[in-house]
Structure 1
Amino acid sequence: MNSLGGRRTARRPFFMNRFSQVMIRFLSLIFPALLLFPVVNAGDLSEITDSLNSHPPELIYRIDITDDTISLAYATVHLNRGTLWLSRIDSVSNCAAFFDGDGSFVYRPPDDMETQQVQRFYGSDSAIVPFDEIYFAFPSGSKFPAAFIARAVKNEPPFDIRNKYSRIIKIPEQTLKYNLTLDIYKAAIENRQNFLWIDIAQGSAHTIYSYNPYDREQISLYLYSPRFSAPQLVSSCTDSEAAVPFRHEYDLFHYDISLDISTTGKSSLFCKMQLGLEQNGLKLLQFGFPAQYDVDSALSGGEKISYYKQKDHSLLTISIPDNNRAGDTITVAVAYRANLFYHLINRGVVQENLIQWYPHCDYRHPANFDIKYTIDKGYDFISVGEKQIDSLLDGRQLLEFTTAFPVTYASFNYGLFDTLAFVADSIPITIYSLSRAHGGKLLNRGNIKKVADDILGAFRFYSENIAPYPFKTLEVDDISVDYGQSSPGMVHLAGVTYDKSVHGVDDLFRAHETAHQWWGHLVVPKTYHDVWLSEGLAEYSATLYIQTVKKEEKQFHELLGAWKKAITTKGATALGLSDGYRAGAIALGSRLRSELSPADYNIIIYYKAAYMLHMLRYQLDSTDTDPGNFMRLLSDFANRYGHKLATGEDFIETVRPYLGARTDRFFKHWLYGWKIPRIEKKYQKKENGSVTLDLYVTDIDSDFETPYPVRFKLSDNSSLTVIYSLKLGNNHFKFHPGNRLTVKNVEFNPDYDILEK
């Protein structure tokens, strides 16, 4: 599809015979600008990209290699013996090189967290990969070929080299669903010459090293082999020696969306976006965009502009006018069509995508929204934002919602609902439950009162102890899926929680999703490393609701025990295959979704992060189960970073005045580290009624230290809990109860307050 949304006709080749092919080669040697590859700043984006994909860089230079080394950020490529083939590197945007021979690639991760991930995938602290072929892709102007060009000799590669090269250059598109060609073209025309892609091949296994100057973490390492269905992200890190600090390309700060909704066919959407440019020289802007959506046109300043949307790829690229500079504000718009809904037997209409049905950028990037909906009349409709218009036109309902301040994303829902409305702390709260008339034949929504009880209880607990509720209303709706999703001012709950209420499951689920109004929407995680600030804090806040509001002390400690079991278990779980804590540190965030152990994102980001917060609370509040220092800490954090992007480091700095000198050590082990201590416990009763304790700590770093509770049951049937400080190695203690009492029994860590194997 071209930029005008019409049908693009195939072009006949300009040169048709063997003589013409010879002439092309002759002319390309004399006049490089006549190459059949797009030159910098040429033409229509769709035509350019299609041409680049159809005509990859042709290898025309040969360099004989004996013992050459290429130094990269955190990596080294050693070419032992073989032949390096190089494409033209002047007057074209996309360049390539291909090495056939033996060599080795070594990636040395920059820190312990990345080292642990490399060890999981490669079995050693560094990724050491011998190879027999390697492919380099880079933009014109790259420094990469400088060391070789002086030795280059024009030479057409033999058939077997062309065949190997043809096979390996298809991997980004066919395997990763990644248009490498387009990204290299973008880097070339925007003068980002340090973009580099390397595919290190050994048989059917591929290690991919990427240096992308557009990313916050420029360096990425992927592993792809027959053991995986898709490439696995092994390591991702920032280049500490980058010449230019990372800056976003743009700040997308305002959406104006018109949506004509159809539940039986494709809905029509028009999305206008205001962006503040943050870099000079930008020519192409890229947005996340659902792969199955159809783009009809793109505009800027009322004029049609070029765009590229590849089928089955979740990326939209738009060409913006030249001569823009950092600090400029531009407006771009996209007209598109999408199936926003699908139909399930016995469930009725279900939304396909709750929160990414419009072009988006970066991780949870806040923006203002002005959304106009057109729907068939007769339905209840709820949306993120405050309702401005609700009217009828030509028999259809027109609604408009706007947000009062930037929010992370927008969602909506509509249908035929039963409702329960009330007011808490001057905030109107409405619970929506799908009725049978909505289209679901087996709906049995008899649980709306229990849903309302948990929503109200959690709402009041968070409002009173963390921060005032940040939105003007709270609307809680019923969606016919098996998960929950919180949006600003809205909570989408899985329909099953309206059907039944399982003790210890549904109450926690409802409180967790409600907590996201504070953790996720009031305080917004800045990067994927910080997602635990949303999920971990929501999970533990919900658990505090269970303990402090519902007074379910037994259930609270059962949850800690269940978390511990999940974290320390390796093998099959209810969530899928798990390595437990061995999967990696909490700070790895969304990278924990790997095929090695797909269950571990939930286990680490929800359970282990919540457990870390419990241990922090234990250190701050000792054995006191009432909110104290810990709740004041959460309130400080919420008020300091309300309506802001926050990082794990921001949370640590908020903790520091409370935890003092222990702060860095605590987070080093529990947030950035992955190890869990093993504690061997022995005790011996003495004739005088006292007890000696030996607690031997292993499997943890040398500077580890933790409080550790021991409960002594005494001869008068009373109990006394003593908190000891444990370090790596043997910890020896003596306990004497006094008052002629003796110790009957000893319980170690009886309430699961400290995470251990």
Structure 2
Amino acid sequence: MEKSFPRPAESVITPPIRRPGASADVVVVEAPVPSPARNAQIVADNGARAVEFFSQRFGAYPYSSLALTQMPGRVSQGWPGLVFLSSYAFLTPEETVDLGASPVNGALNRLTLPHETAHQWWGDLIGWRTYRDQWVFEALANYSSLLMMETEKPTEVRLILERYREDLLQKNKDGESLRDAGPVSLGLRLNSSHFPSGYEGVSYGRGTWLFHMLRHMLLDAEAMQTRRSQETQPVADEPFIRALRKIRERYADKAISTRELFAVFDEELPRALWYEGHKSLDWFVQGWVEGVALPHFSTQSVRIVKKAGGTEVVGIVRQSDAPQDLVSAVSVYAVTATKPRLIGIVLADGPETPFHLAVPEGTKRITLDAYQNLLSSPK
């Protein structure tokens, strides 16, 4: 059974007037209603690509086959070896535009298939231990689908992340921001009369951002430790992906808690992310996973100082609109005549954290989070 799609508005086309005084013929054109059946092969091909993409990064596909079937309406759901896809997941990009979807909504619609496919690993092969850990699997499946989108349409990844940030800052009729619904670890208890869709908004939005932050923290810290450019590092060899493969190997057909998951990431933790000398992400779990902050980051009292041994920059990283004990990994970049260059990571601890870092010759200024990989709020 195929549920009817919302029909797009009629288009009124007025041809050019050929001679002065002549009236133009008006033609009314109604865009065709999309047909999921017509696009079934495209969906199947995209599903096969998603299985291949995730298998290369997370380990072999866990089941003998994968069946994709339409479920009329907007909801999609994945089961072991079976994915029910919303009718909207069968739309081509052109049909999505014809139905009036904005660029970001079109991009979100294209996440549906890879998201549900990623659940074969995150949610089906490995499950959550308690309701407090359920967010991991929605967020991880969602971020996995963004990893795939990043290889094809990176600009759409940025659109989606910015939408999630905006949603978290969006206020309801009582003036409360979605971020105030609670931390991701509240699970379905995030839903309330104040935030009826709190679980979906926070687990997808903030949860996806948490994995994005974690991935880029690890990438930046490893780049500093090995002095290797991120651009030359194969994605499959990233510390984030290495940790996910370990999780898949150790917890297949088991349940995992949030703490157990981050304990595996601890194994890949470069020294630049060791807070107070401890090789642990407890500071990230306590402040970011168990918290709701979207801080604002800025610099203060920055000076570039030339010394006999080279050039240094000294200053303060300010972290505002955040709890006093929040710890954040802030990547610092030198701005030269070319693109920003990573020079260090500051573990911002509280409102003000002093730093001094070596900078390359020709540095004009420094900037924080040059590629916007921190979940932060604007000024």
Equivalent residue for 1:695? 317
Aligned with residue 538 of structure 1, among 120, 141, 158: 141
Question: Is contact 1:697-1:728 (8 Å) kept?
Answer: yes
Aligned with residue 585 of structure 1, among 164, 180, 183: 183
Alignment of 1:486-565 (within 5 A): 486-501=78-93, 504-548=107-151, 550=152, 552-565=153-166
The DSSP-based 3-state class of the residue aligned with 2:107 is: coil
The Cα shift of 1:734 comes to: 4.8
Question: Is contact 1:557-1:752 (8 Å) kept?
Answer: no
Between the aligned partners of 2:213 and 2:77, the Cα distance in structure 1 is 27
Between the aligned partners of 1:639 and 1:720, the Cα distance in structure 2 is 36
- Summarize the Cα distance change of 1:738–1:497 in structure 2 as closer, same or farther, 3 Å threshold: closer
Between the aligned partners of 2:305 and 2:158, the Cα distance in structure 1 is 34
Between the aligned partners of 2:352 and 2:137, the Cα distance in structure 1 is 37
The answer to whether 1:713 aligns with 2:331 is: no
The Cα shift of 1:518 comes to: 0.8
The answer to whether 1:639 aligns with 2:230 is: no
One-letter identity of the residue aligned with 1:722: I
Equivalent residue for 2:65? 473
- Summarize the Cα distance change of 1:645–1:691 in structure 2 as closer, same or farther, 3 Å threshold: closer
The Cα shift of 1:476 comes to: 0.7
Between the aligned partners of 1:619 and 1:690, the Cα distance in structure 2 is 23
1:219-261 Cα shifts (integer Å, max 9, x gaps): xxxxxxxxxxxxxxxxxxxxxxxxxxxxxxxxxxxxxxxxxxx
Alignment of 1:272-671 (within 5 A): 346=4, 444-445=35-36, 446-501=38-93, 504-548=107-151, 550=152, 552-571=153-172, 579-622=177-220, 624=230, 626-627=235-236, 628-659=238-269, 661-671=279-289
The Cα shift of 1:571 comes to: 3.0
The DSSP-based 3-state class of the residue aligned with 2:281 is: helix
The Cα shift of 1:721 comes to: 2.2
Higher helix share: 2
Between the aligned partners of 2:61 and 2:305, the Cα distance in structure 1 is 59
The Cα shift of 1:656 comes to: 2.9
Question: Is contact 1:529-1:589 (8 Å) kept?
Answer: yes
Question: Is contact 1:712-1:720 (8 Å) kept?
Answer: yes
The Cα shift of 1:736 comes to: 6.3
- Summarize the Cα distance change of 1:500–1:492 in structure 2 as closer, same or farther, 3 Å threshold: same
Between the aligned partners of 1:508 and 1:724, the Cα distance in structure 2 is 32
Equivalent residue for 2:14? none
One-letter identity of the residue aligned with 1:613: F
Equivalent residue for 1:74? none
Between the aligned partners of 1:513 and 1:547, the Cα distance in structure 2 is 17
- Summarize the Cα distance change of 1:680–1:571 in structure 2 as closer, same or farther, 3 Å threshold: farther
Between the aligned partners of 2:360 and 2:119, the Cα distance in structure 1 is 49
1:302-354 Cα shifts (integer Å, max 9, x gaps): xxxxxxxxxxxxxxxxxxxxxxxxxxxxxxxxxxxxxxxxx88747xxxxxxx
Alignment of 1:186-205 (within 5 A): none
- Summarize the Cα distance change of 1:585–1:742 in structure 2 as closer, same or farther, 3 Å threshold: closer
The Cα shift of 1:608 comes to: 1.0
Equivalent residue for 1:751? 371
Between the aligned partners of 2:3 and 2:265, the Cα distance in structure 1 is 50
Q: TM-score, normalised by structure 1?
A: 0.38
Aligned with residue 292 of structure 2, among 652, 670, 674: 674
- Summarize the Cα distance change of 1:605–1:738 in structure 2 as closer, same or farther, 3 Å threshold: closer
One-letter identity of the residue aligned with 1:585: P
One-letter identity of the residue aligned with 1:753: N
Higher strand share: 1
The Cα shift of 1:484 comes to: 0.9
Q: Pick the structure with greater CA Rg.
A: 1
Between the aligned partners of 1:498 and 1:578, the Cα distance in structure 2 is 36
The DSSP-based 3-state class of the residue aligned with 1:662 is: coil
The DSSP-based 3-state class of the residue aligned with 2:316 is: strand
Between the aligned partners of 1:344 and 1:542, the Cα distance in structure 2 is 26
1:431-470 Cα shifts (integer Å, max 9, x gaps): xxxxxxxxxx955234334423431222112112112212
Question: Is contact 1:346-1:443 (8 Å) kept?
Answer: no
Equivalent residue for 2:20? none
1:507-533 Cα shifts (integer Å, max 9, x gaps): 322110111111111001232211112
Between the aligned partners of 1:567 and 1:510, the Cα distance in structure 2 is 24
Identity over aligned pairs, percent: 23
Equivalent residue for 1:376? none
The DSSP-based 3-state class of the residue aligned with 1:531 is: helix
Between the aligned partners of 1:712 and 1:554, the Cα distance in structure 2 is 24
1:536-581 Cα shifts (integer Å, max 9, x gaps): 1101111111124x2x333333333332222233237xxxx97222
Between the aligned partners of 1:558 and 1:683, the Cα distance in structure 2 is 33
The Cα shift of 1:485 comes to: 0.8
Between the aligned partners of 2:339 and 2:137, the Cα distance in structure 1 is 41
Aligned pairs, number? 314
Between the aligned partners of 2:279 and 2:298, the Cα distance in structure 1 is 27
Q: TM-score, normalised by structure 2?
A: 0.73
The Cα shift of 1:475 comes to: 0.6
The Cα shift of 1:752 comes to: 2.1
The Cα shift of 1:717 comes to: 3.2
The Cα shift of 1:712 comes to: 2.9
Between the aligned partners of 2:240 and 2:148, the Cα distance in structure 1 is 14
Between the aligned partners of 1:495 and 1:629, the Cα distance in structure 2 is 36
The DSSP-based 3-state class of the residue aligned with 2:268 is: helix
One-letter identity of the residue aligned with 2:247: F
The DSSP-based 3-state class of the residue aligned with 1:673 is: coil
Question: Is contact 1:579-1:600 (8 Å) kept?
Answer: no
One-letter identity of the residue aligned with 2:243: L
Question: Is contact 2:167-2:178 (8 Å) kept?
Answer: yes
- Summarize the Cα distance change of 1:558–1:710 in structure 2 as closer, same or farther, 3 Å threshold: farther
Equivalent residue for 2:275? none
Q: Any gaps of 5 or more consecutive residues in structure 1? A: 1-342, 348-440
Q: Any gaps of 5 or more consecutive residues in structure 2? A: 6-31, 97-105, 224-229, 270-277
Between the aligned partners of 1:648 and 1:696, the Cα distance in structure 2 is 29
Between the aligned partners of 1:737 and 1:664, the Cα distance in structure 2 is 30
Equivalent residue for 1:21? none
